Amino acid sequence: MVFSSLTFIVLFLPIFLFAYFCVPQRYVKMRNFVLLVFSLLFYAAGEPVWVLLLIFSAASDCLIGLFMERFQGRWQSKVLLVLSMCCNLGVLVVFKYTEFLLGLVGINIDFAPVLPIGISFYTFQTMSYSIDLYRGRIKAQRNPIAFLTYVAMFPPLIAGPIIRYADIQHMLAARATSISKVSEGVSRFAMGLGKKVIFANHAGAVSSELLAYGGSSTLAVWVGIIMFMFQIYFDFSGYSDMAIGLGKIIGFDFLENFNYPYTAKTITDFWRRWHISLGTFFREYLYLPIGGNRKRAVFNIMFVWMITGLWHGASLNFVAWGMYFGVILLIEKYLLRKVLAKTPAFFSHVYCLGVVLFGWLLFYFTDAGQFAHAVRNFLGLGGLLYDYRAVDLLLANLWILPIFAMFSTRAPIRILENVKVYLPVAEPLLNFAVLGVGVMLMIGQTFSPFIYFRF
């Protein structure tokens, strides 16, 4: 089940909210139980068998955490942390990387199990709990229902943002809902749904056609990868908006996951704005522990970005994608920092978007042959500068590209804030319109994947 489906919008969500708000606000444990039951149903609607894996992952870390706190500061605590890491990383390796790793040593098999949806997100959440507990930053959660609720709650379960236990532990024990907070949550959910259903799905349909088999011409690759650039932003940030909005409706405040990354002027700034929860996780739990900037900074940056690429998928193109950005970040850090600081904003912005655009080309193609073909076309070396289908799609979408660009900035929010001064009902009317259009589009659309589900 996905948020941008009629089943979720007209059936699951209304029933869940009715059941949730039937429980008085002071009975937080009961609300946690309702949230847990519906979260497990939500996950089971897509992959029933993997609910057991989710429960096992949560239960093992909850139990290990109790013993870890008991042996705080002693060698047993470190052993338990290693056990927790082995359980979590072991699950990831078995289900996500087995076929890839065996392929690297020449053993080609078709590994049968389908990758459990959201496994990279919830295993990182349970890992953050164990590490923070070992460091003494949090107390062990003794209520298994509360802990399983943290791991399984459906708003961020499938595609993030990655929620650290330390950030919401107090909300599991006590949280308040209000009309204003529910209204804020509805607005955020509507904004995310609009990004996904109205923008991302359209951009994705165009990019899929133009980038098929590496693209048929230079124009096809350029238009296709620009459309993919918008698709992946609206798709992922839209999902994050919906998750954050749903969280607010039920009393949770999740941290932001995107901060208008396409307005960045450097790659360093871009990655501070894109998938913030993942960047924070790798910084706190990998980059700083292995030395950060204190020693072997070059190695540390490249290692972290190799792992970042692998996190996105068990394929060499994702490794190359991660290493590509690692190299760019090192170049900015040691060679271009002062130059970019003095460069006019327009040119630094063009530089940043150009680097990101080529990065998405690396990200998109998992087949090396198709990628090589796409790069030749991207550089104008493929022999065909344009084809009629690419021209048709470009002309048909010229009107929407400026809209995509505008909605990748703060401009729409600023416009809405100004309009609300004179027309207070503008926001609820807009929410109603977006939700209505979204539902109508969902009835007819068949192209509606969430890109980050596969990670």
How many alpha carbons lie under 13 Å from residue 271 in its C-beta half-sphere? 21
**Rounded to whole angstroms, how far apart are CA atoms 85 and 80?**
9
**Rounded to whole angstroms, how far apart are CA atoms 129 and 323?**
28
Q: Are 211 and 455 in contact (CB under 8 A)?
A: no
Q: Cα 318 to the chain's mean position, in Å?
A: 15
Structure tokens at 97: 């990387």
**Rounded to whole angstroms, how far apart are CA atoms 452 and 455?**
5
Structure tokens at 272: 């501070």
**C-alpha to C-alpha distances, 42 to 17, 147, 451, nearest whole angstrom:** 13, 18, 18
Annotated active-site residue 373? The verdict is no
CA angle 35, 274, 302 (to 5 degrees): 115
Helix, strand or coil for residue 177?
coil
DSSP string, 145-158: HHHHHHHH-HHHHT
Q: Which position among 202, 275, 312, 373 bears the catalytic label?
A: 312
Eight-class DSSP state of 290: T
DSSP string, 186-197: HHHHHHHHIIII
Assign residue 162 a region (left: φ > 0; alpha: ψ between -120 and 50; beta: otherwise).
beta
Eight-class DSSP state of 286: I
Give yes or no for a cis peptide into 161 (omega within 30° of 0). Answer: yes
Annotated catalytic sites, by residue? 312
